[in-house]
Amino acid sequence: MFRNVAELIELAESKNMKISEIMINQEVEVTGKSREEIMKQMLFNLEVMEKAVEDGLKGVKSHSGLTGGDAVLLQNYIDKGNFLTGKTILDAVSKAVATNEVNAAMGTICATPTAGSAGVVPGTLFAVRDKLHPTREEMVQFLFTAGAFGFVVANNASISGAAGGCQAEVGSAAGMAAAAIVEMAGGTPRQSAEAMAITLKNMLGLVCDPVAGLVEVPCVKRNAMGAANAMVAADMALAGITSRIPCDEVIDAMYKIGQSMPSALRETAQGGLAATPTGRALEAKIFGIPLNKSE
């Protein structure tokens, strides 16, 4: 068993094992299920994620009308070939958006680690798949690596926007994705930890301020930027760049920042973007209430 990132990395290095294998073994130990059962369950999760990405890329709209269609717009933009960044990173962004648009449209997604942050891990996974050409088993292992870091965050800080702001949701998801990308790309366990730290510390302080209380604006686009953050952080870690603040300390800092956030910035829709004039107007329109009563 591991309780934090330092212990996770120590286990992986001492046993000369991938982080994904450490996590699989822990799941076997904790649940009492066989390795085959554990792998089968994660394969099911992978299939749910894959379908959500595919459905989102076909184009969906939410019932509120706030979100939908942006994943398609971005794919069309990529196809034109005039993009300013890179195809893989934009593909990850598009697929992250696709997943969250499906969530907003009441479709089926896999919470990773939450529904509101469900786009980052699959978005990056299905983007790097086209570059790294992993086997199906390696894609499942990607999810276990992400899960190992999510396990640490959930047990030492928070993955809840209501408890710690969006840094706890999209921030954690982005860190999880970055760590998993590094392993899939052939990086070391320690580089995965560095990628997680680099990602999360650049999302510290991110508030949770959903317009009209719905997991749509700005949630969908925050998943987009979380995916981009994860991709860049993974490249930085693979290049040998390290975080001067250890991963566990970054996670602890995130927890303390979340605890100090006012309730208006923790999923209550009372502050931030939700409290802007446009945010309030959208809330009034969606719920059919006079604007002055939503103030």
Query: Predicted confidence band at 295 (pLDDT cuts at 50, 70, 90)?
Result: very low
At 58-90, the pLDDT tens digits run 999 999 999 999 999 999 999 999 999 999 999
More confident residue, 107 or 289: 107
At 170-224, the pLDDT tens digits run 999 999 999 999 999 999 999 999 999 999 999 999 999 999 999 999 999 999 9
Query: Predicted confidence band at 291 (pLDDT cuts at 50, 70, 90)?
Result: low
Q: In the predicted model, is pLDDT for residue 129 greater than 70?
A: yes
Q: In the predicted model, is pLDDT for residue 290 greater than 80?
A: no
Q: In the predicted model, is pLDDT for residue 46 greater than 90?
A: yes
Work out the burial of residue 267: count CB atoms within 10 Å of its CB; fewer than 13 is exposed, 13-18 middle, 19 or more buried.
buried
Distance of CA 9 to the CA centre of its chain: 21
At 91-103, the pLDDT tens digits run 999 999 999 999 9
Does the domain at 14-287 match CATH 1.10.4100? Answer given as yes
Q: In the predicted model, is pLDDT for residue 239 greater than 60?
A: yes
Query: Predicted confidence band at 292 (pLDDT cuts at 50, 70, 90)?
Result: low
At 10-40, the pLDDT tens digits run 999 999 999 999 999 999 999 999 999 999 9
The predicted structure's pLDDT at residue 1: 87
The predicted structure's pLDDT at residue 294: 44
* DSSP per position, 203-246: STT--B--GGG-S-TTHHHHHHHHHHHHHHHHHHHHTT---SS-
The predicted structure's pLDDT at residue 289: 84
- Length of the chain, please? 295
The residues, any chain, with a CB within 8 Å of residue 254's CB and separated by 6 or more, are 153, 157, 164, 167, 168, 171, 172, 200, 204
The arithmetic mean of pLDDT across residues 148-160, rounded, is 98
